[in-house]
Structure 1
Amino acid sequence: MRLLPLALVASLLPATVFAQCGGSFSGFVKDLKREAVAAGHSSATAKAFFNGVKHDPKVLRADRAQGVFQKPFIEFTRHLISQNRVDRGRSMAKKHDATFDRIEATYGINRGVLLAFWAFETDYGSFQGDFNTLNSLVTLAHDCRRPELFRPQIFAALELYETGNFDPKRTTGAWAGEIGMVQMLPRDILENGVDGDGDGKVSLKTSPQDALMSGAKMLSNLGWKPGQPWLQEVTIPKGLDLSKTGPSQKYSVSNWANMGVKPRSGSLASGSMQASLLLPQGHKGPAFLAYPNFDVYFEWNQSFTYVLTAAYFATRLEGANVYNAGNADQGLSGKQMKQLQQKLQARGHDVGKVDGILGSKTRIAVQAEQLRLGLPADAWPTPALLGKL
């Protein structure tokens, strides 16, 4: 039977069935079963799939305890990137050279890009998570923080179950529902799963070929441009107009060159290519030009610090030098960052959730206040800025 798209089903049934989160967990699961049947799945299939699903409080604790993202870029990179990880990445590149050759020929994704994700997500497949995936997805969908993200993944897992590629009782992964060596959500597996080793199955947990080919296809479908760079370390001149920096502002590479931005090694990309100048810890710290492919990273993960670290690590695995850490101004503690976000909110800025994490909205607000107060507008919050606010 051809299944109706969930968006169409939503238009035919009462909105409360699809907008609901919270309430009793058992009632929530009953609604999920009704939604599955309405989308064309048999009652027996829905019953078997959801049989025994449990609310997992450990998932919610993990969701609320992502303190690592409060670390500033330099500390975060040193936390994630060790010489051992660099050496293992280069070893894995040699071991799976034929697979990476296929990926580069088919999808145009550089091996360093996939190796970096493989390293950060599961330490090259050595730890893929031991949370029951269905329990994680249903728990997070029931939670009213991000149901729009996780509810569709439940039904993608149901489709995988019907094809024999998901076991509600035994499939495990990360606390947020990602599965396999490069940690893909069920919907991404449905749309981008590739049988890279030719055994007739897509096995992202046990087959590096399947996992890497699938990850490459997903990046390609997200808009990765073959043959183009993604990130490059640069140096910036004194007196640069710092208000032009940040991921939301893009200028041609030739414009950046005219402003005095220079590559730390090699040469800049084509002069007509658009790029953003990123100063993760202000104008005294590391500096990078981010090219259009860098934006694709945010389709994989929304954390600016994680994305920049993954993109930088990919360049390291392809031969780039360790970045120049510079002498960045002192940043804020988690507690101070929350105080800053509250003060920014009081001035009318949208910083999202007050969570002590320097995300993109907080950076934009910081830069605006730095301009207003006559401080270097590099979007890096300091105790001096907090004091002036």
Structure 2
Amino acid sequence: MHIRIPILVAALLGAGFCTTATAADIGSCVQSLRGRALAAGIDATTFDTHVAGVVADPSLLELLDRQPEFTTPIWDYMAGLVDEERVADGRAMLQTHADTLSRVEAAYGVDPATVVAVWGVESDYGDVFGKRPLLTSLTTLSCMGRRQGFFRGELLETLRIVQSGDVAADKLVGSWAGAFGHTQFMPSTYRRIAVDFDGDGRRDLVDSVPDALASTANYLKRSGWRSGQPWGHEVRLPDRFDTAVSGRTSRRPLSYWSGRGVARVDGQAFAVPGNTQAALLLPAGRQGPAFLVFKNFDAIYSYNAAESYALAIAHLSDRLRGYGPFVASWPTDDPGLSRAERRELQTLLLARGHDIGEVDGIIGSASRAAIEAEQVRLELQPADGRAGQRILRALRDAGVQPAAPSDG
């Protein structure tokens, strides 16, 4: 059958996107995908029903190199992910799902706080799954941009999920890259790791919280999780400590670190034997918080290979256990904002006449432009549109005043 996926190639090239697809050959790309799918056991009806009508989404190509865990300063990243709202909501989820989490721990050996922390960071406990249809995203990325081979594999796995009846196609919405469900599994991870924990005969990470939480614990277990051990500890370094030995993959016995004066910031003894392998993590350099991390940190890291991401989950899990914020401060004079503070900032910008859309705590281009305008007006340097404590305090102090008229 004829398969048509219209693409605004000229718009893509004008925006500076790199793609190997053109208007002439996108059809052949999809036909090639159809052949691969049928050879991999996807029936023709499934492919034609769910891929033939897909309209490519060129905006995805810009997102390939803009993942926040790699581009956002860690103090901003952590402030938004581990705030008092997420801690309070997570503690409520620990109570609401206590029975399920207890059974999950018995089955997979991963404690409830860690599982719930992954849930909180990945989807805000099921509130934010993402809005992009997986079949649209993965078809687009299978034919355009870099890493096409990877995304073609994910597209085939998505079609297998639909064909199996585990999750309906219209429920498969998620991130731009294809992650979906309560704990944002990629389709290939779903195939390998997802479990039917509620016993209904389907592995459903969208509508079944038990399936999602158990699948997350299964992932961590298979990634080397060690029951009863901590992910790590915030530590204090002695003066003139040689930080050249730091790095997540530079593992040494705990006795090596303690013998050189590295100690927990709370003064307590390390909760693992001296021969336990540990690495020194300095996510913001020598002047920021320091951590000794163990095998369980690596298990979290494997979920999404970014140290800031793993640290956010690890720290949130500690907060859910009742521990406090990090002791050391981040090396910045303009710390990040919690989600509540971001909403407050947006409210202040609206009150000053800036048209930034709704107050949602998401600092997009309109909010950044308004911040930059206020930074200029208030003579704050640099005027870079960054949402931090400095501009929030300045607007609080300034009170509600109309924005300066635009030159245009």
State the TM-score, normalizing by the size of structure 2: 0.71
Q: Equivalents in 2 of 1:21, 1:224: separation in Å?
A: 40
**1:32 aligned partner:** 33
Tell me, yes or no, if the aligned pair for 2:157 and 2:187 is still in contact at 8 Å. yes
Deviations 1:241-275 (CA, angstroms, capped at 9, x unpaired)? 21111112111001110010111233212111101
Shift of 1:40: 3.5
Tell me, in whole angstroms, the C-alpha distance in 2 between the residues paired with 1:273 and 1:166: 42
CA distance in 2, matches of 1:62, 1:41: 29
1:42-62 deviation digits (Å, cap 9, x = unpaired): 434433342212211233344
Amino acid at match of 2:320: L
> What residue is the counterpart of 2:113 in the other structure?
112
Structure 2 counterpart of 1:318, from 318, 321, 324: 321
- Corresponding residue SS for 2:59: helix
Shift of 1:172: 1.4
- For 2:283, which of 262, 272, 280 is the aligned residue? 280
Cα distance in 2 between the residues matched to 1:169 and 1:209: 21
Question: What letter corresponds to residue 140 of structure 2 in structure 1?
Answer: T
- Whichever residue aligns with residue 91 of structure 1, its letter is A
Q: Does 1:175 align with 2:176?
A: yes
The one-letter code matched in structure 2 to 1:197 is D
- The separation in 2 between residues aligned to 1:170 and 1:329, in whole angstroms, is 42
What's the counterpart of residue 311 of structure 2? 308
Give the letter aligned to residue 162 of structure 2.
Y
Q: What CA distance in whole angstroms lies between the structure 2 residues aligned with 1:134 and 1:187? A: 14
**Overall identity of the aligned pairs, in %:** 34
Kept in 2, the 8 Å contact 1:281–1:329? The answer is: no
Partner residue of 1:155? 156
CA contact (8 A) 2:196 2:211 kept: yes
Aligned-partner Cα distance in 1 for 2:43–2:236: 60
* Larger displacement relative to structure 2 (28-37 or 48-57): 48-57
- C-alpha deviations, 1:87-145, integer Å up to 9, x for none? 11111111111111111111111222221221111111012111111111121222332
- Report the Cα distance in structure 2 between the residues aligned to 1:36 and 1:270, rounded to whole angstroms: 50
Change (3 A) 1:319 1:149: farther
Aligned to 1:132: 133
Q: 2:330 and 2:139 mapped to 1: Cα distance?
A: 46
Separation in 2 of the partners of 1:163 and 1:183? 19
User: Alpha-carbon deviation of 1:67?
Assistant: 4.9
Q: What does the per-residue CA deviation read over 1:170-220, in whole Å, with 9 as the maximum and x for residues that have no partner?
A: 521222111111111112222222222223322211221111011111221
Q: Is the 8 A contact 1:179 1:205 kept in 2?
A: yes
Partner Cα distance (1:199, 1:294) in 2: 33
Matches within 5 A, 1:44-59: 44-59=45-60
Alignment of 1:217-236 (within 5 A): 217-236=218-237
TM-score by length of 1: 0.74
Which residue identity does 1:232 align to in structure 2? H
Instruction: Write the deviation string for residues 357-389 of structure 1: whole angstroms up to 9, x where unpaired.
Output: xxxxxxxxxxxxxxxxxxxxxxxxxxxxxxxxx
The 3 A distance-change label for structure 1 pair 28 and 170 is farther
1:219 corresponds to which letter in structure 2?
A: L
Q: For residue 325 of structure 1, what is the amino acid of its counterpart?
A: A
Determine the structure 2 residue equivalent to 1:87.
88
**In 1: Cα distance, 2:309 partner to 2:208 partner:** 25
Distance 1:113 1:149, change over 3 A: farther
How far apart, CA to CA, are the structure 1 residues paired with 2:140 and 2:224? Answer: 31
Q: Aligned equivalents of 1:271 and 1:286: distance in 2?
A: 22
Unaligned runs of 5+ in 2: 1-18, 335-408
Task: Give the distance between the partners of 1:156 and 1:214, measured in 2 at CA.
Answer: 17
Correspondence for 1:165 = 166
Amino acid at match of 1:319: G
Letter aligned with residue 287 of structure 1: A
SS at 2:190 equivalent: helix
User: 2: distance between equivalents of 1:139 and 1:298?
Assistant: 28
How has the CA–CA distance of structure 1 residues 167 and 56 changed in structure 2, closer, same or farther, with 3 Å as cutoff?
Answer: farther
SS at structure 2 position matched to 1:275: strand
Work out which of the two has the higher radius of gyration on C-alpha atoms and give 1 or 2: 2
Question: 2: distance between equivalents of 1:327 and 1:53?
Answer: 45
SS at match of 2:302: helix
Please show how residues 215-364 of structure 1 align to structure 2 within 5 Å: 215-265=216-266, 266-268=268-270, 269-326=272-329, 328=331
SS at match of 1:127: coil
Letter in 2 for 1:298: Y
**SS of alignment partner, residue 233 of structure 2:** strand
Bigger mean CA deviation after superposition, 147-156 or 91-100: 147-156
Structure-2 residue corresponding to 1:13: none
Instruction: Assess, with a 3 A threshold, how the Cα gap between structure 1 residues 26 and 267 changes in structure 2: closer, same or farther.
Output: farther
CA distance in 2: counterparts of 1:248 and 1:217, whole angstroms: 24
Code of the residue aligned with 2:318 in structure 1: it is T
Q: Is the 8 A contact 1:282 1:329 kept in 2?
A: no
Asked if structure 1 preserves the Cα contact closer than 8 Å seen for 2:178 and 2:186, the reply is yes
